[in-house]
Structure 1
Amino acid sequence: MLTFLQDVTERDALIVVDPQNDFCEGGALAVQGGASIMPLINEIAARFKTVVVSQDWHTPDQISFASNHEGAAPFTQIEVEYGPQMLWPDHCVQGSSGADFHADVAPAVQRAAAIIRKGANPAVDSYSAFFENDHKTSTGLSGLLRGLGAERVFVCGLAYDYCVRFTAEDAVREGFAAVVIEEATRAIAEDTAQAARDSFAALGVVRL
């Protein structure tokens, strides 16, 4: 099932995207099956020299929270300064239990060379572990990975059709080869999952 791990080298890095309580069953923005992938992520992380974990880290006044827009409903879209923005239920608020990493992924988190917190600016949402949604504000992940000697990144975590997708896309744009480990991620919806697959094909992101 994980035969690709035999080919992992010191030039490879694993990015575990947002393995947080709010994206798992019972959370504010739960992805179906989210908790079930955590043991697999631990197994994968154990084979990588370099592991990075991203963490959604929002303030209560985050622009992407529907609750901050009068009359707006979650899962509708608005226009903001940097373009279209999906509105979400309040989630991963700094210091909340929902923002904490899921307990079952603790071994992978403990292996992390760095935890990349994203989305802390209330005026800009953040999906990618590389850039916030304005596509200008860097998290510093590219420089970190280059400094660690990484040339190829493997991406897993939550959710496939948003934060995993944008992380993989930005990895390619930043000059890394990118691989998405599909069995170690879950999607919010099939239509957006298909859009992610189409984008991966166009950009040369490998799907395992």
Structure 2
Amino acid sequence: MARRALILVDVQYDFCEGGALAVAGGLDVAHSLAAALRDEEFLSAYDVVVTTQDWHIDPGEHFAAPGEEPDFRVSWPVHCVAESDGARIVDELADAVRGIDTVPVIEVFKGHYAAAYSGFEGVTDDDEPLIDRLRAHGITDVDVAGIATDYCVKETALHAAQAGLRTTVLTDFAVGIRAPDVAELYADGFPAAGVLVR
């Protein structure tokens, strides 16, 4: 029997309007996801909810060196430093997640000492890889949402599919950086990788 997880990728203040790496529409996604999680019918489709967070301690070349311009491909402005306000999940969504009492919630942190775009590169508080925790819960299917479609949502979805999970990206609950890249992913990139788009 199918068991489904909802993976909420990096809905953090640094990736929303006003943050260090702001993505236009990030706060709208946070609001929409929070409302959805308070909807019993929506939540009833899931056996597990996962949140992922960039949680950088010393990620090396992932942060541009002081005085150097980031290239926005390999190096980035300082963002989502562990324990900082920018690394927090947007309050409205965090409150909705805390209010879940019908299914387990798994918190995943990634990028401690290196770049990490996929939630599957992250670990729980007790250092368990996400895929191991999902398998322990018997998860067969995942829906992926969050920020940003053309970076961390993409990598999380691709890794989920590579791990053998039936994977869907929820377009109403995801926002990207470059519209042409997002359109290409939805039209070609995701389908070619076996990732559904809904």
Range into which the TM-score falls when normalised by the shorter chain: 0.7 to 0.9
What is aligned with 1:131?
A: 121
2:197 is the alignment partner of 1:201: no
- Provide the rounded CA distance (Å) in 1 between the counterparts of 2:92 and 2:171: 19
In the alignment, structure 1 residue 38 sits paired with structure 2 residue 36: no
CA pair 141-61 structure 1, distance change in 2 beyond 3 A:
closer
Per-residue CA deviation, residues 108-130 of structure 1 (Å, 9 max, x unaligned), is: 43236211000001xx2000001
- 1:169 Cα deviation from its structure 2 partner: 0.3
Does residue 150 (structure 1) correspond to residue 108 (structure 2)? The answer is: no
- C-alpha distance 108-196 of structure 1, shift in aligned 2 (>3 A): farther
Q: Which position in structure 2 is the counterpart of 1:81?
A: none
3-state SS, counterpart of residue 36 of structure 2: helix
1:55-107 per-residue CA deviation (whole Å, 9 max, x = no partner) reads 10012553211235x64x22344xxxxxxxx2211100011100011111024
Equivalent residue, structure 2, for 1:169: 158
Q: Which residue pairs with 2:70 in the alignment? A: 74
Q: Secondary structure at the match of 1:40?
A: helix
Label 1:58 to 1:164 Cα distance change in 2 as closer, same or farther (>3 A).
Answer: same
Structure 1 residue 194, shift from structure 2 partner: 3.6
After TM superposition, where is structure 1 displaced by more than 4 Å over at least 4 residues in a row?
A: none
AA matched with 1:39: H
Alignment pair present for 1:57 and 2:34: no
How many pairs does the alignment contain?
A: 183
Q: Distance between the aligned counterparts of 1:179 and 1:62, measured in 2?
A: 32
Per the normalisation by structure 1, the TM-score is 0.80
User: Structure 2 CA distance, aligned partners of 1:159 and 1:143?
Assistant: 24
Given candidates 172, 178, 195, the residue that maps to 1:189 is 178
- Show the counterpart of 1:116: 108
**What root-mean-square deviation, in Å, do the aligned CA atoms of Structure 1 and Structure 2 show?**
2.1
- In the alignment, structure 1 segments of 5+ residues that lack a partner are 1-8, 78-85, 133-137
**Structure 2: which 5+ runs fail to align?**
none
- How far the C-alpha of 1:10 sits from its partner, in A, is 6.7
Distance 1:154 1:44, change over 3 A: farther
Alpha-carbon distance between aligned partners in 1 of 2:62 and 2:2, rounded to the nearest angstrom = 37
Distance 1:45 1:145, change over 3 A: farther
SS at match of 2:56: coil
**In structure 1, C-alpha distance between the alignment counterparts of 2:72 and 2:146, rounded to whole Å:** 24
How many Å separate the matches in 2 of 1:159 and 1:76? Answer: 13
TM-score (norm 2): 0.84
Note if contact 1:45-1:51 (Cα within 8 Å) is conserved in structure 2.
Answer: no
User: How high is the sequence identity, in percent, across the aligned residues?
Assistant: 37
Question: What CA distance in whole angstroms lies between the structure 2 residues aligned with 1:143 and 1:61?
Answer: 24
Determine if contact 1:128/1:164 at 8 Å carries over to the other structure. yes
